Amino acid sequence: MLDLIWLLPTYPLLGFLALVLTSGRLPKKIVGIIGAGSVGLSFLTAAIIATQFLAGGEDYFVKEVWAWMAVGSFTPGFSFYLDGLSLVMMLVITGVGFLIHLYATGYMADDPSFSRFFSYMNLFVAAMLMLVLGDNLVLLYLGWEGVGLCSYLLIGFWYTNPANGYAARKAFIVTRVGDTSMAIGLFLLFAQLGTLNIQDVLHAAEAEWAVGSGLAIAAALLLLGGAVGKSAQLPLQTWLPDAMAGPTPISALIHAATMVTAGVYLIARTHILFEIAPSVQLLVAWIGLITVLMAGFIALTQSDIKRILAFSTMSQIGYMFLALGVGAWSAAIFHLMTHAFFKALLFLASGTVILSVHHEQNIFKMGGLRKKLPVSFASFLIGSLALTAFPFTSGYFSKDEILLAALEMDGPGTILWVGGVLGAFLTGIYTFRLFFIVFFGENKGHVPENEVGGIHMNGPLFLLMILSLVGGFIAIPVESVFSHGEVHEEHHVSTLIHGFMIAVPLIGIVISYLFFYAKIFSIEKLMSIPISQTLHRFWFSGWGMDWLYDRLIVFPFLWLSKINKADLIDSFYAFIVKFARASNAMIVRTQTGYIRWYALSIAAGLVVLISIGVLL
Amino acid sequence: MITTLADLLPLMPLLITTATTIVAMIVIGIRRNYAVTAGITIAGLLIASLVAVSMISTTNSQVTPLLIVDQYSLFFTVLICVTAMLITIFSFPYLANLDDSKEEYYLLLSIATIGAIVMVSSNHFVSTILGLETLSMSLYGMVAYPVHSKLADKFPLEASVKYLVLSAAASGILLFGMALIYAQTGTLEFSSIVNVTKETPGLGTGFAIVALIMVFIGIAFKLSLAPFHMWTPDVYEGSPLPATTYLATIGKSAMFVVLLRFIVTTEALSFDSIILVISLVAIVSILAGNLLALLQNSLKRILAYSSIAHMGYLLIALVASYYVQGAISVEAVTFYLFAYMVMSIGAFGVISIVSSSEKEFDDIDDYQGLFWRNPWLALVFTGMLLSLAGIPLTVGFIGKFYLFFAGVEAGLWTLLVVLILGSGIGLYYYLRVVYRMLLSPKGGERFKSGGSQYMGAHGVLAFVLALLLILGVYPTPLVSIIETISLNIL
């Protein structure tokens, strides 16, 4: 059964092909069955494979499907690698992916491009599985670029609105900066270590490169560049909020549960490389922490329901990076999994809310939706609790592990811990700000008649609710993957600190309650202070990062392209075209059609070639 | 040496093809029936190729001094018989409405195949010439075949005469080169000619170089290498399409196999000036072929010009064989010839299936909007063109990669730069055709390619398209076969 692992990406790929080749001519019902069913089949297969793999007790399993071509040491092949890490990833991708597909059959039901939507979704799942199951760097890169492409296509899914096209391009270009860095990193690894197989690369790196050596640092930095691009971390984070232009199931699947965590997967997969480059590993932690805090402050000020969730995603991935940075590899993957559950839940629930209030996304135009939208309300309640790490929800266990690991780290560990706890505090505030404003108080805009739903939309929500609640009790089988170098001893911290860590997000929730529910403190009063107005504007614009990048990169680039309108480099290619045309015009004259001329050219060729041969 | 009957067993594919011709001739004499004649030809070629396949793992023998039957020659025997069979299938609907005797065309086709089989099994100048002339003579007839048809809109007679006259001149040069070699070494056997390059007796190296260059030029003409290429577009354009296909696939590959055997066996490349001459011809062919095709509107001429370039690419691997240890460059040549035959059958096949002896659709305008009118043919044609251009996931990419790899191993950087330049230019005219097929249809006649007599031809298109894609994604089986057989050449 393990041999059938290649079926995992094959099902959604076939689904994609079927949907593309019929190009929208199938009835919606069948499109839904193909679209969601192919991922469902993948999930079933993944579940069976996972059971057998765990029962077998092996550390890893390799399945070579076929070798594309073998030229020297360049032997890219289709082979799959399964270990605890890819096992968790494949289950999350197919499991959560299937639920989101199912939800989408309801959410997208009225969309004229229903079939196109599912074809992209299936292609995404196939590419993402390729990414996490690939045994070599080429397959990994194929999957990496594949999910990037699907992300682009789906952000711009409603392409008739130019703003969506703009958002899609922005996401593509910003992540491309990271992708380029990663590609160079992969080239470096291949050039230096002479193999494409990921495990061989890692072991060779460990054996050949000293800890802290220049090559190790360069390779780790370049891969980190790819990871921050894909996972929307500082400094390549600006694309994620705009990516919310896509349909909501996309935001749930690609921009919350799976694709944006690919950077976390990449670093976890190549953790050996980061261990021999400790300075880069520390940088990962700092990037994570700063992103946690930055995104947390931004989320405090946003008014678009999906953007708030987007910034919270960015912030939660920041936690995963923090975990990676302090060497708590399995905690990072654990948080990746629980985050996939509750963030998918929150996004899907926000989708229901948005549909129910007729595509309104501004939270200040909602309000009091608790009674009208009971399922969304329950989903948001559970999702928000898990997100703020309320005790015994899934988010609590994973975030707790991350923070404790940070605390135990020598050196900057305490600072990282303090920052992480501050982040948790912010999470409590912004999450429940959203919750109270949307579901309590007066309705200030659309009053929904009834909640959009049905079994295929509410079913996934219920399942995700359960997972968000109890997901923290799932033990992920990744010990053997990270067996060496992980902080492994039981966490010894005083009850006081532990209590403090539990209390902080709760305090955040309480503050939110006082401001937005009980209205004991007035937000208007707070805003009347000049400094907080400035801060609000600053945070609302995402710390002015877009502004800064516009000034630093976009405008200079546009300026350059303006003064270089008659492109200098283009003129070289234009010359090639002209040259080719001129040569063509000259040389076609030799094709006269006269046999005597042809015979002459043979004779001339004979004489010239013999002369060259004899004289030189 | 007395040749016994058992010694002739390795010649079974050749004998079967000959028998096919004779049977077909007798049947025509008794009663003319177009379908039966074509059927006999197809069956005979099929049997010949199956017999050759069954022999391939066991046979390795020199039959008389003239012919060598080893795995390499058997591989190409299979390839040639199968290709000839596929071309027969295309010819059937093409010639169906010719208002003249149609049956004799298949005799010419199978006689040409005999010549081609002799060529790929040849390691002696006598058999080379015998095979070459058998092939060429039949081709003159095939090119001119629809000459009495009142509706023949191209100029088969003109094409045939051009080909005949120039080809005769080239054969003359080839024979002269052979005579010079004989004068120096007293032998016509490839393996004995090695001495000519060893500067031992005879008339000195200058003499040997002239001889080798003349042989090369004679062969270069048949391969339509520049500057001996000028006949190619005119002959391709004037011939009926199945004959063009035959010329482009079997005619070229059989000749290249002879060149490969000759160059490798005689160690001709140990002369620097021979390497220089071949490299120059390669460069000129790649550039001239691609540049000539650039703005061409006739598909047959585009494919003719592109064949000049493709033969130039192949010369790179040939030159590399001198520098690289092992069989990698022979493998590259073999793989590329295989790939080139697959792509050419497909590309010419699409044009041939919509054409007939009455009207050929050859102009790029006829294909505008083909994707919307006939997606199947457009799909096949696109696949073939992309493969010719060397786009990944097609067999053409693997082939070009192989050539490139051989060139890199040999350190032939100048030639590789030209290869890249040529491929870049080539992409333009291949994509131009694809682009035209994607535009919205502009009137244009609807092609008649349905009906029962086209079934086989469509099947062949499906077969070559499948080969093109499967070997583009999973070339390993073919590569391992080619690795084994290529050892025979060294």
What span, in angstroms and rounded, lies between the C-alpha atoms of A511 and A169?
39
- Structural domain count, chain B: 1
What span, in angstroms and rounded, lies between the C-alpha atoms of B381 and B387?
10
What span, in angstroms and rounded, lies between the C-alpha atoms of B50 and B76?
13
- Residue A593, in any domain of the structure: yes
Radius of gyration of chain A (CA): 27
- Which residues of chain B have a CB within 8 Å of the CB of A587? 288, 291-292
Coil, helix or strand at residue A362: strand
What span, in angstroms and rounded, lies between the C-alpha atoms of A317 and A292?
8
What span, in angstroms and rounded, lies between the C-alpha atoms of B280 and B134?
30
- pLDDT given for residue A610 in this prediction: 92
User: Given A107, A135, A163, which residue is the final one in a domain?
Assistant: A135
What span, in angstroms and rounded, lies between the C-alpha atoms of A64 and A59?
17
Half-sphere exposure of B468 (CA within 13 A, CB side): 30
- Residue A592, in any domain of the structure: yes
Which of B173, B222, B230 would best serve as a mutation to test chain A binding (most A beta carbons within 10 A)? B230
**For A593, which of B234, B274, B425 is closest by C-beta distance?**
B234
Range of the domain at B480: 8-486
What span, in angstroms and rounded, lies between the C-alpha atoms of B437 and B95?
26
Q: Which residue has the tokens 């099902």?
A: A11
Residues making up chain A, counted from first to last: 616
Residue of B nearest to A616 (CA): B273
ipTM at complex level: 0.91
- pLDDT given for residue B196 in this prediction: 56
- pLDDT given for residue A410 in this prediction: 76
Q: Which span out of A407-416, A510-519, B260-269 was modeled with the highest average pLDDT?
A: B260-269
State yes or no: pLDDT of A364 exceeds 70.
Answer: yes
- Which residues of chain A have a CB within 8 Å of the CB of B209? 613-614
What single string gives the DSSP state of each residue in B45-71? HHHHHHHHHHHTTT--EEETTTEEE-H
User: Given A93, A110, A135, which residue is the final one in a domain?
Assistant: A135
- pLDDT given for residue A398 in this prediction: 85
- Which residues of chain A have a CB within 8 Å of the CB of B474? 66, 68
Residue of A nearest to B215 (CA): A606
- Residue A1, in any domain of the structure: yes
- pLDDT given for residue B291 in this prediction: 93
Tokens of A499: 């209590």
Coil, helix or strand at residue A219: helix
Q: How close A510 gets to chain B, by Cα (Å)?
A: 60
- Which residues of chain B have a CB within 8 Å of the CB of A590? 230
Q: Does A613 touch chain B (CB under 8 A)?
A: yes
Which of A6, A20, A596, A602 would best serve as a mutation to test chain B binding (most B beta carbons within 10 A)? A602
- Which residues of chain B have a CB within 8 Å of the CB of A588? 292, 295
- Residue B343, in any domain of the structure: yes
Q: What digits encode the pLDDT tens for the residues A453-501?
A: 778 888 888 888 888 888 888 777 777 777 665 555 556 677 788 888 8
Report CB contact under 8 Å: B206, A614.
yes
- pLDDT given for residue B355 in this prediction: 87
- Residue B278, in any domain of the structure: yes
What span, in angstroms and rounded, lies between the C-alpha atoms of A367 and A364?
7
Cβ atoms of B319 and B278 closer than 8 Å: yes
Question: What one-letter code names the amino acid at A331?
Answer: A
Coil, helix or strand at residue A79: strand
What span, in angstroms and rounded, lies between the C-alpha atoms of A333 and A556?
40
- Residue B160, in any domain of the structure: yes
Cβ atoms of B364 and B433 closer than 8 Å: yes
Report CB contact under 8 Å: B274, A613.
yes
Report CB contact under 8 Å: B294, A581.
yes
Q: How many whole angstroms from its chain centre is CA B367? A: 25
- Which residues of chain A have a CB within 8 Å of the CB of B230? 590-591, 597-598, 601
- Residue A452, in any domain of the structure: no
- A&B contacts, CB < 8 Å: 94
Q: Which residue has the tokens 């690919």?
A: A262
- Residue B3, in any domain of the structure: no
Report CB contact under 8 Å: B213, A610.
yes
Question: What is the percent of chain A with per-residue pLDDT over 70, rounded to a whole number?
Answer: 96
Mean per-residue pLDDT for A507-515?
84
User: Comparing C-alpha atoms, which of A331, A309, A310 is closest to residue A319?
Assistant: A331
What span, in angstroms and rounded, lies between the C-alpha atoms of B128 and B120?
8
Tokens of B444: 């244009």
What span, in angstroms and rounded, lies between the C-alpha atoms of A32 and A115?
8
Residues of B with CB under 8 A from a CB of A: 161-162, 165-166, 169-170, 173, 206, 209-210, 212-214, 217, 221, 227-228, 230-231, 233-234, 272-274, 276-277, 280-281, 287-288, 291-292, 294-295, 398, 401, 405, 425, 428, 473-476, 479
State yes or no: pLDDT of A87 exceeds 60.
Answer: yes
Q: How close B44 gets to chain A, by Cα (Å)?
A: 36
Q: Which residues of chain B have pLDDT under 50?
A: none
Q: Does A605 touch chain B (CB under 8 A)?
A: yes
Residues 6 or more apart whose CB falls under 8 angstroms from that of A277 comprise A211, A212, A216, A217, A219, A220, A221
What span, in angstroms and rounded, lies between the C-alpha atoms of B244 and B255?
16
User: Comparing C-alpha atoms, which of A413, A89, A391 is closest to residue A265?
Assistant: A89
Q: What digits encode the pLDDT tens for the residues A169-179?
A: 888 888 888 89
- Residue A583, in any domain of the structure: yes
What span, in angstroms and rounded, lies between the C-alpha atoms of B252 and B225?
11
Q: Does A21 touch chain B (CB under 8 A)?
A: no
What span, in angstroms and rounded, lies between the C-alpha atoms of A546 and A459?
39
Question: What is the percent of chain A with per-residue pLDDT over 90, rounded to a whole number?
Answer: 6
Picking from A156-160, A569-573, A609-613, B236-240, which range would have the lowest pLDDT averaged per residue? A569-573
Range of the domain at A93: 1-135
- Which residues of chain B have a CB within 8 Å of the CB of A604? 227
Q: What digits encode the pLDDT tens for the residues A260-314?
A: 888 899 998 888 888 888 888 888 889 999 999 888 888 888 888 888 888 999 9
Report CB contact under 8 Å: A601, B228.
yes
Report CB contact under 8 Å: A616, B273.
yes
Cβ atoms of B381 and B350 closer than 8 Å: yes
What single string gives the DSSP state of each residue in A98-146? HHHHHHHHHHTTT-TTHHHHHHHHHHHHHHHHHHHHBSBHHHHHHHHHH
**For A587, which of B212, B221, B288 is closest by C-beta distance?**
B288
**For A591, which of B228, B230, B272 is closest by C-beta distance?**
B230
Coil, helix or strand at residue B298: strand
Greatest Cα-to-Cα distance within chain A, rounded to the nearest angstrom: 104
Sign of the Cα torsion B239, B240, B241, B245 reads negative
- Residue B53, in any domain of the structure: yes
State yes or no: cis peptide before A235, omega within 30 of 0.
yes
What span, in angstroms and rounded, lies between the C-alpha atoms of B474 and A592?
44
What span, in angstroms and rounded, lies between the C-alpha atoms of A306 and A256?
11
User: Which residues sit opposite A62 in a β-bridge?
Assistant: A81
Cβ atoms of A407 and A330 closer than 8 Å: no
Cβ atoms of B470 and A66 closer than 8 Å: no
- pLDDT given for residue B415 in this prediction: 94
- Structural domain count, chain A: 2
Question: What one-letter code names the amino acid at A498?
Answer: H
Q: How close B377 gets to chain A, by Cα (Å)?
A: 16
What span, in angstroms and rounded, lies between the C-alpha atoms of A175 and A146?
13
- Residue A105, in any domain of the structure: yes
Tokens of A375: 């399922």
User: Comparing C-alpha atoms, which of A294, A293, A283 is closest to residue A326?
Assistant: A283
- Residue A149, in any domain of the structure: no
What span, in angstroms and rounded, lies between the C-alpha atoms of B124 and B167?
20
Report CB contact under 8 Å: B230, A610.
no
- pLDDT given for residue A68 in this prediction: 64
What span, in angstroms and rounded, lies between the C-alpha atoms of B210 and A19?
64
User: What's the Cα-to-Cα distance from B27 to each of B22, B23, B24, B46, rounded to whole Å?
Assistant: 9, 6, 5, 19
Model's pTM, two decimal places?
A: 0.73
